[in-house]
Structure formats: structure tokens, C-alpha cells
Chains A and B, each alone.
Chain A
Amino acid sequence: MTLSFEVRSASAKVGAVEDSASSLLPRRVLGRASPLTRALAHVLGSLDGIDVATAATTPTVFASAFGEVSALTALLGQWRAGDDPISPLRFVGSVHNAASGAISIATNAQGFTTSIAAGNETLCASLLEAAGLLTTGAAEVLIALADEPPPELLCRTRPTCVMVSGALWLRRLADPGPRGNAGANTILTLEPNRAGRTAPPPSRQGLHSTVAENPVGEVIALVEALRAGVPQTLALDGGWLAHLSARPERAAQ
């Protein structure tokens, strides 16, 4: 079976987001936001053509394998230091859907939002969740993924991966609509990667190790492939292939 949809636009960032002119969060909220929330708001806000009104009315899938690592680290530190009570704001900010909540409040998004995780398969899982939404009524879906390095205090050796974030604006294939930026208007087709087929190289191959080791590092490979505008196939963690091809009208030009 295959699932196809159009990629209207895509964005990605390697490294932390300290400040962002394109964030969906207003400045007063941005300053208080966690690194993960800042990154997710930044990549969403960086999608070509996005605005607050669109973000407010488009189902959004937030995804992170590890969740709010910085907030968790701070809370664990407070606990071990004997702080009582721990910070209520920090506690609420440590839930996996903190970014989803903050962005929905900032944009007045009252519809569907979710916050998911699937280890190294997080990108694949978010694409399939989006495919489910597009197949069952949504005309468009936003995906935003990000992961910080795992918490150093819970790792035996210092983590070597860097923060990675990415966002995709997907549209149901049957719907016409305005074209997005370079690398957009690409058809993304998901197909199970059947055993025995000659598979393309895994999507993390070719990425710098500090990116490849990030659970959502694959999104960098996907966004770079989208920007290249060349038909290609990526083998995603999770056992699915992502075929990228041009929109038929574009191919005919």
C-alpha cells in the first residue's frame, strides 16, 4: 500500500534556537519557553507561507522522542537538592505536550493537536499519524519534530548529538492550492519497506554523526532532499520508504 500527499513547505534547524524572529510564540512567551518549545515554535514559524491563523486552524502533530529534557533535568536537580516544593511552572513545562499547549494558547488553536514519541522512528510515526489525519478528513496537517540531546545526568558518557528540529506542512493530494517555496510542491509517498527489496541507503547515512545520533535526525535528511527538488527515496527508521517526486504539473513544465 502507499500513502501520498503533497509537501507544501518544509523547514529544519540543526542546533539550539536562542532567539527567533519567525517563531509562532510571541516574544514575551519565547523568553520563558524551554529549548524544545523554542525549537518547535521556530521551525513551525519558519515554514514558507505559514501564519498564526493557519497554525490555529490546521491539525498539528508535535513529535519528540525524549520530550522536555531541559525541564526534566532541572526538576530532577531540584528534587535531588531537596527543594520542596519543586517549581510548579517548571513541572507543567516538563510534560511532553508542553510545546503543543504553549503554541495552541499563543495561536488560539482550538482544534486537533497531539504530541507523540517513537524513539528513532519518531519521524516515520509522525508522517503516518499525519497520513491518518489527511485520509480521514484533514485537508492539511502540520508536523513539528525536535529533540534535545538526552540528559547528561542520566547518561554514562556525555551525549554527542546536537539538537535537531524540523517541520513539514502537508496537504492532501487531491486538493489544489497555492504553491510553496523551493523544495515544496513535492509529492511524498510512503510505502512499507518490504524485506527482500533492494533498499535505498538509510536516511541517516550521509548525515554528520552529531545529527544522525539524534532520534529525529532523519528530518534533516528529508528536508534537505525536499530542498534539492530531485526525485529520490529515503529509507526511514520504522520500516517505511519515503519517495519524493515532483508534482505532475511541475514535471510537465
Chain B
Amino acid sequence: MRALPIVAFSMCSALGHDVAETRAGLAAGRDGLSTIEHLVGEALPGPFVVGAVTRELARLPAVLVPVETRLLRLAAHLVEGLDGAPERLVRRYGATRVGVFLGTSTAGLAASEAAMAAFARAGALPMNYEFASHHAYGALLDGVRKLCGCTGPGLVVSTACSSSAKVFATAGRHIEAGIVDAAIVGGIDTLCQLTLRGFASLGALSFAPCRPFSVARDGTNIGEGGALFALDPGGDGAVVVRGVGESSDAYHMSAPHPDGRGAVSALRAALRAAGVDASEVDHVNAHGTGTRLNDLAESRAIAEVLGRDVAVVATKGLHGHLLGAAGALEAAVTALTIQDGLLPAAPRVVPRDPECDVRVIESPTRSPQRLALSCSFAFGGNNVALLLGAS
């Protein structure tokens, strides 16, 4: 795969409202998790620890107000954070030659939950709610296209937790095939009643701040937010996409293969795509959900492909698990780590789980970073490994 420069990126999560705040949060090891008991105006069955974006989001442009959702407002915030990069791509290549490829798992589900709650109260759906323009996955694509001024090919990938890592591969293929010349990629998800309740019903949630790779880990925390990237093969960026590996476990809908075989396959495919050896990788940004099964299987996969001494970063304890947006947010964290040469700490990881026999970073560590892998492993056994490098 030809290295694909990231000419701009933006991010937003409980850890930080933008790149600068996130950078400061990673350096300080300060988590942004909080406890909520209500969502979309309705009670939750008890307090949930989540990674909520608590700062006010800017209003949408008038053309998008009729289809306003929290998802779209987060998207608008992230597009603004690209600081004009979409417009520059459009000027350089033309609007029809810039693609938009996004990942989400919740789409506009929160808007539908609010609509159903309103129906229960008032006997009618809200006047400004329509399923296709508020909930359906394509609504996010339409909104981001309008916000960016891009009219090129686009799609939404929704493969649960690997969604917004897969979009990097989709963009790379579209560029290599000549379908587009550049791309906006990323992912956005919001907190929803059904996702919190669903993960709780699976026993996958922790009701305390999560502790990936710790022997005391008991689940994950759901988060919201996302990240967007402008990819331009003709541009310059401090960080480039070197390769992407994609695979399937073919094992179980909600549990990883215990030996991490799908993860091994994805990690190796990413290295092969970039033509690099595992020994050249400086760190792995793990999927690291804090569930007993994921962290164990992932440790085995990392150890098998990269050895036990590679540095492992796990940041979901700082911002939560952003589900469909996790791949993008953690790619942005990886990009920051490469740029700044600072490995963030995995919070609350001590005492370590001896069965997760990899070198998880326990305190912020200065170390030059040239190459890093970011992993995303999803329901349905869908796996992605994204290899980013310093340009």
C-alpha cells in the first residue's frame, strides 16, 4: 500500500473537546469518565460510568437544522476541527473527487430513542423527526458531505467496533482505484439507551471506571465522540497511513477467538501491506476494552505477532469505548503519540493480569515513535489493524 498522508485530523471525546485538550489529557493521564443516570431524557436502570462529551456543541448551519441530531452536531464540531482541510481538498481536486467514508455503530439511534420517548408522552412522533434523515446511517454521510462541501463517492461502514478503522482501508482502495483523489474519513458515535443496556445485558460493562489489562478488570465503559481525518496522497502530513489489515474471526458473534487468531491475521496483514517487519513497530494502541475475553485474546495476538516487549497503549480507560468511532478516535490518539513521542498510560492497570503477558504502559513515557499499530476488534468477529507511521 502506498503511504497515505494525514494532512489534518480532529477529535472529540470525554478526554478532550479537541486535539489540544486531548493531547493535554493524555499527557496528564487524566480520564474524562463520568457517571450518568439519565439519557435522552429517560432514566437508565442505575448509574452508568460513561465517556460523555459534556461541552456544548456548536449549532449546525441552517441547511442542516431540519435534520439535526447529536450525531450530526458532533460531526460538525469535528469538521470544524479539520480547520479548512476539506475545502482545500475540494479546491485542489474538485468536489466530486473527494470521497467521504465514515464509521458509526449507533447512527441516529439516540434521535430515535428521543422520538419514541416523545411518542410515549405525546402520542405522536416529533414533527421534525424522520427515520431516513435522522436515524439511518446515510444521514451521517449526507450531513458530513454537506459540511465538507464534498460530493464524491462515499459510504458508511458499520461493523460495530471496527467501523471507523475500516474506513481507512476503504479510502485507500478508492484512491488507488482512481475512484477519488482524496478522502475525508473517520467515525462518530453517541451514547444511547440501547447500547448501554445491551452491553450491560451481555455482562460486558463495568460499573466503575474500566481497567484494561488489569487483573481486576470487569468490563468496559461506553463513550461518545469521534475523529475525522483528511487523507491526501499529494499532501504532506506528520503522520501517514502505512497499511491496513482486515480479517474475520469466524468464531462467535460477541466473543473473540480465545487465541486471537483473527487479530493475528489482521496484524500480519497490516504489516504485509506496508512491507514492514514486526520488529519495526514501536507501539500498539490496543483495542483494550477492559473485558476479560478481549484483553486476554488480544494480549496473545500481540505477543504472537510482535513479541511481549512491544509497548502497548490502552486508552479506553481515559475516554471510554466509542464503539463505531473507536477506530477513528484511537487512530487519532496513535497519531498524537507518534507526533509527540509520548506513550500515554493505561489508567488503573495495576495490578496487572499476568495472563495478559504484554508490556502495557503504566505511566506516561517519553519515547520516539516511528511506527505504531492501532487495533479494533468487533462484534461479528470483524478485525482491523491500522499501521500509522511518522512521515
Binding site for B on A (CB under 8 A): 1, 3, 56, 65-67, 72, 75-76, 79-80, 84-88, 91-98, 100-102, 104-105, 107-122, 124-125, 128-129, 131-133, 135-136, 150-151, 153-156, 192, 215, 238-240
B364 within 8 A of A: no
Closest to A63 in B: B155
Given contacts A84-B45, A238-B153, contact A97 B382 (CB under 8 A): yes
Residues on B with C-beta less than 8 A from A80 are 116, 120
Across-interface contacts of A91 in B (CB, < 8 A): 194, 197-199, 201-202
Of the listed residues B131, B135, B176, the one surrounded by the most CB atoms of chain A closer than 10 A to its CB is B131
Total interface residues in chain B, CB < 8 Å: 67
Within 8 Å by CB of B253, from A105, A107, A113, A124, lies: A105
Q: List 24 A-B contacts (CB under 8 A).
A: A65-B136, A66-B131, A66-B136, A75-B198, A85-B45, A91-B197, A91-B201, A95-B105, A96-B105, A96-B160, A97-B159, A97-B382, A98-B379, A110-B261, A112-B247, A114-B382, A118-B138, A119-B136, A122-B138, A125-B153, A129-B155, A153-B116, A153-B119, A154-B112
Partner of B157 from the list A88, A114, A136 (CB cut-off 8 Å) is A114
Interchain CB contact (< 8 A) of A114 among B105, B112, B113, B166: B166
Q: A85-B200, A86-B201 are in contact. Are A104 and B177 (CB under 8 A)?
A: no
Q: A138 to B194, alpha carbons, bound, how many Å?
A: 37
Q: Which of B105, B173, B246, B379 contacts A132 (CB 8 A)?
A: B173
Other-chain contact of A119, B138, B153, B252 (Cβ < 8 Å): B138
How many Å lie between the Cα of A91 and that of B105 in the bound state?
12
| CA distance in complex: A135, B107 (Å) | 30
Beyond A91-B201, A101-B253, A101-B380, whether A150 also contacts B132 by CB under 8 A is: yes
B115 in the interface (beta carbon within 8 A): yes
Cβ of B157 and Cβ of A95 under 8 Å apart?
A: no
A115 engages B248 (CB within 8 Å): no
8 Å CB contact of A115 from B116, B135, B158: B158
Are the CB atoms of B379 and A117 closer together than 8 Å? no
Show the binding face of B for A, using Cβ within 8 Å: 45, 96, 105, 107, 109, 112-113, 115-116, 119-120, 125, 129-132, 135-139, 141-142, 151, 153-160, 166, 170, 172-174, 176-179, 193-194, 197-203, 246-254, 261-262, 265, 378-382
In contact, B116 and A97 (Cβ under 8 angstroms):
no
Q: Which of B142, B178, B261, B382 is within 8 Å of A113, CB to CB?
A: B382
Give A101 to B172 CA distance when docked, in angstroms. 24
Min CB distance B305 to A, Å, is 16
Interface contacts (Cβ under 8 Å), in number, total: 208
Contact between B141 and A118, CB atoms less than 8 A apart: yes
User: Which of B151, B155, B249 meets A116, CB within 8 Å?
Assistant: B155
Shortest Cβ distance from B257 into A: residue:
A110
Residues of the A chain whose Cβ atoms lie less than 8 Å from the Cβ of B156: 116-118
Q: Which residues of A contact B173 (CB under 8 A)?
A: 129, 132-133, 135-136
Do B179 and A3 touch (CB < 8 A)? yes
State how many angstroms separate the Cβ of B270 from the closest Cβ of chain A.
13
A108 to B261, CA, bound (A): 13
Counting chain A CB atoms within 10 Å of each CB, the highest count among B113, B154, B246, B250 belongs to B250
Which residues of A lie under 8 Å from residue B253 when comparing CB positions? Answer: 92-93, 98, 101-102, 105
**Residues in chain A near residue B166, CB distance under 8 A:** 114
Give the residue of B142, B155, B265 whose beta carbon is less than 8 angstroms from that of A110. Answer: B265
Q: Which residue of A lies closest to B115 (CB)?
A: A154
A93, A104, A135: which has the most chain B beta carbons within 10 Å?
A: A104
Residues of B within 8 A of A113 (CB): 159, 248, 382
Q: Which residue of A lies closest to B44 (CB)?
A: A84
Residues of A with C-beta under 8 A to B154:
118, 121, 125
Of B160, B201, B246, B251, which one neighbours A95 at CB under 8 angstroms?
B160
Please state if B382 and A100 are interface contacts (CB–CB under 8 Å). yes
Chain B residues with CB under 8 Å of A114's CB are 157, 159, 166, 170, 246, 382
Q: With a CB–CB cut-off of 8 A, which chain A residues contact B379? A: 92, 95, 97-98, 101
Contact B380 A119 (CB under 8 A): no
Q: Residues of A contacting B177 with CB < 8 Å?
A: 3, 131-132, 135-136
Complex Cα gap A1–B129 (Å): 39
In angstroms, Cα B179 to Cα A124, docked, is 12
- Give which listed residue, B176, B198, B381, contacts A104 with CB less than 8 A: B381
A72: chain B residues at CB < 8 Å are 109
- With the chains together, A14 CA to B172 CA distance in Å? 34
In the complex, besides A91-B202, A125-B153, 6 extra interface pairs with C-beta distance below 8 angstroms are A66-B137, A79-B193, A92-B254, A95-B105, A128-B155, A136-B176
Would you call B202 and A88 a contact (CB within 8 A)?
yes
Known: A65-B136, A112-B247, A132-B170. A75 touches B380 (CB 8 A): no
The residues of B that contact A239 with a CB separation of less than 8 Å are 96, 151
- Contact with A128, one of B174, B193, B199, B251 (Cβ below 8 angstroms): B174
Residues of B within 8 A of A104 (CB): 248-250, 380-381
* Bound CA–CA A80/B265 (angstroms): 41
Q: Which residue of A lies closest to B173 (CB)?
A: A132
Whether B132 and A92, one on each chain, are in contact in the complex, defined by CB atoms closer than 8 angstroms, is no
Q: Are B249 and A115 in contact (CB under 8 A)?
A: no
With A129-B170, A135-B176, A238-B153 known as contacts, the answer to whether A119 contacts B158 (CB < 8 A) is no
* A129 / chain B contacts, CB cutoff of 8 Å: 155, 170, 173
Q: Which single member of B142, B200, B246, B249 contacts A112 (CB below 8 Å)?
A: B246
